[in-house]
Structure 1
């Protein structure tokens, strides 16, 4: 599993680096430098800035233009940063950076969203007899291997004196897990928003436990380390724009959902539920966030999902210049 995942990661990164390699890296002959930003459909704040042209306007006085590059998942996005195909990434889930670091990526953390622990949960069918995590023993549980949901499950089991050996893991993508859940082929499903909100609204899923006290579910923003060292001024501008976008989303949840829903193929009511659970509050990277990154890395290393020990503290962290 890990070998295949690594091969796909490198293949995706190679394609990204080839496709993006022609983008301008420095101001030459009076032309503006281009900052290359990678994002996913789930990158609410960065997509909001993209749709409004906010960064183009904010960075123009700094002699910087913007090019946008969409990715289908977080791992190829971060590897593209590492190999020089991108300069900045939009948010990725908390389980993603440890995999990139394990693969040797040299990245700089430049921002986080504050915790949103209720944005992922372990759910069961509405009429399930299961009422506690301890009762998962011996049952089949669906989740995406190596995702934040996997870490949440590990923590929940450990707090109840259980381990992965006590359940039957079903490693499934969100779409396949949803189908298995609705057919009754799994007893429980560990999933994150907006899939969680959709399962609650459409499949009457019941929350057995969310991430409260178990897994914080922070979103991380990263940069190519050479770009972070060279253009700290650009990072400051992007950070401030993202913070303002987060404030708008939280102050206007219905309007934000109406705008974002068509982009991710869900109805606005479902997206609004998911948006209300996610903090969207941007802040500088702090010690608790990095400590949890280390715990995630250690947990996955112990499960032999990450092949080698990761030392998160060895990674660079951007700090605003005084």
Structure 2
């Protein structure tokens, strides 16, 4: 794709994004209390120790973009996606990034959120790992074993699909639900037999602990990174949401061919040495896109699988959390 066509396509997508988010949210009835009680002069972003939002924070590009409008950007770090979306649901943040599973759990819990965009698949950026001296050699060997993971995170679906492929019923592993820091501690002291985790924690486990990968997402899951907004905020401030996506798109163009520079920025932000940060950076997928019908269908499959396993309490429709009727995706074509 040439530069002019790429720029034109992105401009059309961003224009459609602003319009469809606003229209969709208005139709759904945004919270009046939220609109009255939240200042339009602060954009509150939730981020994790991975992905382009962390880079955007480090570079300060969004602050430069929004400062002339008198808008302050406030960043809040979360240990994982479920906690981040809990923050979005209770109104402590307006925008954030998570993996595939958290928005499904959040939607099932009644969160008023809207999908904004996603990154391309990054299946090697999450994996099931075991200690280097473990006798566990295959996913099938996890039957009856203790497996640590963050409940409702992207790796939750990886575990489901890996066990399914290996012919091991989900109920026949002992899931131990822990956030990344606690899971690593349990993994190091041998309190669990395996750990399902994402980058950069995955890269750190490999480089620092010698953890051995049983299976990553290749052939099992896409592992998209999604950007979501609180629907009331997206209703009131579609142009600010558009500005965030625009800056993320610019950042992606810069980052995709500069893993060493990305690692130099990312390392201090996530508290990891450059080698670990660069491993994570090379496995990340750059190129923010609208949520297409195909990606929405993948999300629906995950939601249906979680319902079947009784991991969520009720059926959900991913379409209910999309901007408009996928007008953004159509406009970008």
**Cα separation, 1, equivalents of 2:58 and 2:189:** 39
Q: Indicate yes or no: 2:156 matched with 1:141.
A: no
1:1-322 → structure 2 map (5 Å cutoff): 23-25=38-40, 34=41, 36-42=43-49, 44-59=51-66, 63=69, 65-72=71-78, 73-82=80-89, 84-87=91-94, 89-317=95-323, 319-320=327-328
CA contact (8 A) 2:140 2:163 kept: yes
**Mind listing any 5+ residue stretches in structure 1 that lack a counterpart?**
1-17, 26-33
How far the C-alpha of 1:248 sits from its partner, in A, is 2.1
Aligned length: 295
Shift of 1:247: 2.5
2: distance between equivalents of 1:181 and 1:59? Answer: 42
The structure with the greater share of residues assigned to helix is 2
- SS of corresponding position for 1:251: coil
Q: 1:50 to 1:191 in 2, by over 3 A?
A: closer
Is contact 2:124–2:283 with CA below 8 Å preserved after alignment? yes
How far is the alpha carbon of 1:85 from its aligned partner? 4.6
Change (3 A) 1:223 1:145: closer
The residue that corresponds to 1:3 in the other structure is none
- Normalising by structure 1, we get a TM-score of 0.81
Deviations 1:232-274 (A, max 9, x none): 4333332121011122222221122122212222112111101
CA distance in 1, matches of 2:145, 2:230: 42
Q: Which runs of 5+ in 2 are unaligned?
A: 1-32
Measured in 1, the distance between the counterparts of 2:297 and 2:253 equals: 26
RMSD: 2.8
CA contact (8 A) 1:285 1:317 kept: no
Q: Distance in 2 between matches of 1:228 and 1:146?
A: 24
Residue of structure 2 in register with 1:31 after alignment: none
Following superposition, the deviation at residue 120 of structure 1 comes to 0.6
TM-score, length-scaled by structure 2:
0.78
CA distance in 1, matches of 2:199, 2:292: 24
Work out the CA distance in 2 between the residues paired with 1:124 and 1:271: 21
Higher relative contact order (CA 8 A, sep 6+): 2
SS state at 1:67 partner: strand
Does the CA contact (< 8 Å) of 2:44 and 2:92 recur in 1?
no
